[in-house]
Structure 1
Amino acid sequence: MFLARLAGVPAREIEPDDDLSGIVWIDLINPSTEEIDRAEKALGIHVPRREELEEIESSSRHYERSNVLYLSSPLVRRVDESAFSYPVGFVLTAQKLVTVRYSDYYAFDVVGRDIAETANDGTLTPDQVMTQLLEEMINRLADILEGLGRTLDDVSRKVFNADRPRKRANAGEMLRETLRRLGRAGDLASMIRDSLLGIDRMLIYVGELPGHVLVDGLKQRLKVAGRDVASLNDFVAQTMNKVQFLLDATLGFINIEQNDGMKVLTVVSSVGIAPTLIAGIYGMNFKIMPELSWHYGYQYSLMMMTLSIVLPLLWFWRRGWFGAR
């Protein structure tokens, strides 16, 4: 999609014969090769492809070429319980800002609506649009982090809740679901950290670039955005620590559940040994066995086997291996 975003009017699709001279922000959404080629021909600048935006070297993400500034960063997108990370690119010239992205992002929609509702007085600049986009991207990442924090709080309550399911099957399913939620939370926190790192590097590069002049107001806004990113990075570090703590706790509860299962098997096997031994001894039918011709020998052997079952069960119960005392 090849969109033109202008002040005072809604976004519109750019046609092949449109004049791009008065357009400050050109938004390429999941562009095809033909659309990128058309943008390059109309603007006379290089527009990076997806494989270029996915480069991880800092020199490939932030550079200046022929007075054109190229910036890129991964940006996380959360949809329901799933999260995805796609590259976002900025191409900044003195007259235009070209954004290249491969997914819909709420931050871009918010800034686009704000620009469409702004009076077209000719004061809108590409620097202002990019600064506003970076600020809104940071705000959106903060919202995602807040949601992630609430998710981890909910997981924490379930993990450490005293009224956990008493049925072993229900407890096992709860712990498995907890592991899945923690895995998704860890992936999301990692993608948020990558996004914040990319934005932070962009802010540092633009702020320290001697050839690109920003007005004082924009410089101050970028400094504030940098402080916001630093605070969010601290929150992400805390979140990652909490994910690891909850993961360790969940694995600990799983080990406890497994130990409880082994206790049951131990009790069953231990209780069955003594009566089996007694039954084996009195089942040999040797003539020299004194109980062989005893009138109460059968009842005696049954009583011995019953006691050999009851006494170990009482011992295990008193030690708390099963049941509730």
Structure 2
Amino acid sequence: MFLAHRPGAPARTITGEADAANTPWLDLLDPTPDEQALAARITGQRIPTRDDLEEIESSSRLFMEDDAVYLSTPLVRRMQDNFFVSPVGFILSRNRLLTIRFTAYSAFDLVARQIADRQDKLSGDEVSVLIMEAVVDRLADILEHLGQSLDTLSREVFQADQPSAGKGDMVLRTLLRRVGRSGDLASSVRDSLLGMERIAIFVSENKKHDLSERLRARLATVARDIGSLNDFVSQTSNKVQFLLDATLGFISIEQNNGMKILTVVSFIGVAPTLVAGIYGMNFHDIPELGWRYGYWYSLALMAATVILPLLWFWKRGWLGPGR
């Protein structure tokens, strides 16, 4: 999809060069090869592919080509409990901004509505600042939701009732997956913030593409917001690591409880087996061989070797609450 965003008008699909006239923001959304070729003819710029936008070197993400500034960053998108990361590209020339993205983002949709509601003239520089502000606001919302989710998860880890027998392993596995997903989301948000910070710095310091003082001030505000969000991400990452360690600790406790049961079962099985082995030997001179109560004596002895260890383990709290 190839869209044109003009002040005072809804987004319009571009099918020819005339549709892009006097448009401050051209938007390639999951473009086809034909749409990429049309964008190249309209802008006179090289249109990077998805592989180009996914390069991780700074020199591939931030550079000048002719009079255009090429920028790219990974950007996280959250949908309910799921999220994924997709690259976003910006080509900022003197008259317009061209964006290349491969999935819809609510921040871009918000800026598109803001432009449609305005009547004053916009430059590509101002559109780029609007998008950066909206993206950072959206990342802040994701972090806020992540912080609330971690608070809920923390209460479930430390304040939840003891799960019923047989369900503890399943509950802990579920908690471990949720902690892992939270850590992945925090890491993805950090990458997005780092990319936006580099873009803001590169645009504000670029000598061949001067910005007005008003836009520089807004970019400085964006940079400060990103710095505070990075601090929040660091705190969130520490909390994720703490919850991960705590969950793994509870899993170790569950495993130790399982080993206790195996130890008890093994221990109480040894003594009666020993008694049965002694009195099952085929020697002629066994004192109890002709004893009238020998059979009942051996059964009682085996029962005692089972009951007494069970009572001992129970008092130590291995089989239930101790006294």
Identity percentage of aligned residues:
54
Measure, in 2, the Cα distance between the counterparts of 1:20 and 1:296: 107
Q: Which residue pairs with 1:20 in the alignment?
A: 20
Q: Which residue pairs with 1:154 in the alignment?
A: 152
Contact 2:182–2:240 (CA under 8 A) maintained in structure 1: yes
Q: Which residue pairs with 1:322 in the alignment?
A: 319
Q: Which residue pairs with 1:77 in the alignment?
A: 77
Contact 1:28–1:98 (CA under 8 A) maintained in structure 2: yes
Say yes or no: does 1:254 pair with 2:251.
yes
Measure, in 2, the Cα distance between the counterparts of 1:29 and 1:61: 19
SS where residue 292 of structure 1 aligns?
Answer: helix
Report the Cα offset of residue 105 of structure 1: 0.2
> AA paired with 1:71?
L
- Count, aligned residues: 322
SS where residue 249 of structure 2 aligns?
Answer: helix
Deviation string 1:167-195 (CA, Å, 9 cap, x unpaired) is 1x211001111111122112111111110
Contact 1:285–1:292 (CA under 8 A) maintained in structure 2: no
Measure, in 2, the Cα distance between the counterparts of 1:284 and 1:12: 96
Measure, in 1, the Cα distance between the counterparts of 2:130 and 2:265: 68
Q: What RMSD in Å do the two structures reach over aligned CA positions?
A: 1.2
Among 224, 228, 234, which residue is 2:225 paired with? 228
Among 114, 122, 125, which residue is 2:123 paired with? 125
Measure, in 2, the Cα distance between the counterparts of 1:286 and 1:88: 87
Measure, in 2, the Cα distance between the counterparts of 1:198 and 1:18: 34
Q: Which residue pairs with 2:45 in the alignment?
A: 45
Q: Which region of structure 1 is more displaced relative to structure 2, 257-266 or 12-21? A: 12-21
- Tell me: CA distance 1:162–1:65, structure 2 relative to 1, closer, same or farther (3 Å): closer
- Tell me: CA distance 1:19–1:12, structure 2 relative to 1, closer, same or farther (3 Å): closer
Q: Which residue pairs with 1:207 in the alignment?
A: 204
Measure, in 1, the Cα distance between the counterparts of 2:277 and 2:231: 69
SS where residue 324 of structure 1 aligns?
Answer: coil
SS where residue 22 of structure 1 aligns?
Answer: coil
Contact 1:88–1:101 (CA under 8 A) maintained in structure 2: yes
Report the Cα offset of residue 16 of structure 1: 2.0
Measure, in 1, the Cα distance between the counterparts of 2:19 and 2:113: 22
Measure, in 2, the Cα distance between the counterparts of 1:219 and 1:89: 21
Residues 168-179 of structure 1 mapped to structure 2, 5 A cutoff:
169-179=166-176
Contact 2:111–2:131 (CA under 8 A) maintained in structure 1: yes
Measure, in 2, the Cα distance between the counterparts of 1:192 and 1:246: 19
Q: Which residue pairs with 2:67 in the alignment?
A: 67
Say yes or no: does 1:100 pair with 2:100.
yes
Contact 1:30–1:100 (CA under 8 A) maintained in structure 2: yes
Measure, in 1, the Cα distance between the counterparts of 2:2 and 2:208: 29
Deviation string 1:80-139 (CA, Å, 9 cap, x unpaired) is 2221111111111111111110110000000000111112x33x1111111010000000
Give the TM-score taking structure 2 as reference length. 0.96
Say yes or no: does 1:218 pair with 2:215.
yes
Among 216, 236, 239, which residue is 2:236 paired with? 239
Report the Cα offset of residue 281 of structure 1: 1.0
Report the Cα offset of residue 286 of structure 1: 2.7
Residues 273-288 of structure 1 mapped to structure 2, 5 A cutoff:
273-288=270-285
Measure, in 2, the Cα distance between the counterparts of 1:247 and 1:19: 53
Deviation string 1:31-68 (CA, Å, 9 cap, x unpaired) is 11211111111222222221211111111111112211
Contact 2:17–2:42 (CA under 8 A) maintained in structure 1: no
SS where residue 70 of structure 1 aligns?
Answer: strand
> AA paired with 2:116?
A
Measure, in 1, the Cα distance between the counterparts of 2:19 and 2:80: 40
Measure, in 2, the Cα distance between the counterparts of 1:53 and 1:194: 14
Q: Which residue pairs with 2:109 in the alignment?
A: 109
> AA paired with 2:219?
L
> AA paired with 2:127?
V
Give the TM-score taking structure 1 as reference length. 0.96
SS where residue 323 of structure 1 aligns?
Answer: coil
SS where residue 160 of structure 1 aligns?
Answer: helix
Q: Which residue pairs with 1:165 in the alignment?
A: 163
SS where residue 18 of structure 1 aligns?
Answer: helix
Say yes or no: does 1:300 pair with 2:297.
yes
Contact 2:88–2:102 (CA under 8 A) maintained in structure 1: yes
Report the Cα offset of residue 285 of structure 1: 4.4
Report the Cα offset of residue 214 of structure 1: 1.1
Measure, in 1, the Cα distance between the counterparts of 2:40 and 2:282: 100
Report the Cα offset of residue 296 of structure 1: 1.3
Contact 1:73–1:199 (CA under 8 A) maintained in structure 2: yes
Q: Which region of structure 1 is more displaced relative to structure 2, 235-244 or 223-232? A: 235-244
